[in-house]
Structure 1
């Protein structure tokens, strides 16, 4: 793909999905599971996509958002949504190794639950 905005977006989306897939593997999930791929795709959609839409002019604006220097309201909300998604999915992983054999402890149900909770909480607050 040429170095157009759509090409950069597609490459970034694909690479971020792969990175989140391998990070989920390090958080006690199986690497060849379709659930892990869908979880990585969900995380990419809520972290990379809003930041790329609001900070797509340059890579400097993108990293300024992560450095907590948002310039607009949309950048502020996109960084809050991204951080809420990451923190929620990270907190949801803590109950997986407890091994209580409950239905809600299976991968990725608990992570998605906490992910949705923090995602909506950081959108509203």
Structure 2
């Protein structure tokens, strides 16, 4: 879990540095080629598309690798009592089935995020490509990584993300990362209507940056929550805690009487 959190933090940092760099380069090229303000505003609106597309492909590849690692760790931990003998073809086919399931869930998550973005004020036809990019980003940060572990278990999805009750360390990490990413995307939309005339104010760059920043925070929070849950489970297993303390106090009272 710690390794996955470190990989997530590295990915977040590189993406947050990459997006403004691409935006500045495209803005500089636009300033050299266009002189009128109308043409400048048009190029600034179209500038985020190439940079976000490149980071989108990078994010998909990294999330796929991390998801496969989490899937292998989760499957190995849950199948300790199962048979260890398995053929190579079965393992490869299971990997492909997990990938197909995760991609399908990610596509459904993209549709859900797109619908919610429209409900929160995004245009249905105006800048539809940018809105779809934001939806894919949010799906890759919320639905796609969790699908490698949860799969098609609808009860687990509802229990974690609707009823807010994750039960394991991995579920707590997914919950913190996903909720913080959605909150960051919503919070980033505040700076869009401000008249600062900055290139990073173009839709949906503030929402993407906010989602990545708070996803990074959610990764740290999820790691801390997982450590706390693990320590509590260890204390309960070895009888360390308030219950054990009260039992020892009661035994001392009985001996004194």
TM superposition score category, shorter chain reference: 0.7 to 0.9
Q: Residue 52 of structure 1 contacts residue 62 of structure 1 at CA under 8 Å; is this kept in 2?
A: no
How many Å separate the matches in 1 of 2:152 and 2:101? 11
Secondary structure, counterpart of 2:110 in structure 1: helix
2:115 is the alignment partner of 1:19: no
CA RMSD of superposed structures (Å) = 2.2
Structure 1 window deviating more from structure 2 (26-35 vs 80-89): it is 26-35
Find the partner of 2:144 among 46, 49, 54.
49
How many Å separate the matches in 2 of 1:85 and 1:77? 12
Correspondence for 1:75: 171
Correspondence for 1:120: 216
Whose helix fraction is larger, Structure 1's or Structure 2's? 2
Q: Residue 9 of structure 1 contacts residue 52 of structure 1 at CA under 8 Å; is this kept in 2?
A: yes
Q: Residue 21 of structure 1 contacts residue 36 of structure 1 at CA under 8 Å; is this kept in 2?
A: yes
| Cα shift readout 1:11-38 (whole Å, capped 9, x = no counterpart) | 4322221221232234444444322211
Q: Residue 92 of structure 1 contacts residue 110 of structure 1 at CA under 8 Å; is this kept in 2?
A: yes
- With normalisation by structure 1, the TM-score equals 0.81
| Cα shift readout 1:44-96 (whole Å, capped 9, x = no counterpart) | 11111123223226211111112122121111100111001100000001111
Q: Extract unaligned runs of 5+ from structure 2.
A: 1-96, 222-257
Bigger-Rg structure (1/2): 2
Q: Residue 134 of structure 2 contacts residue 204 of structure 2 at CA under 8 Å; is this kept in 1?
A: yes
- With normalisation by structure 2, the TM-score equals 0.43
Secondary structure, counterpart of 2:142 in structure 1: helix
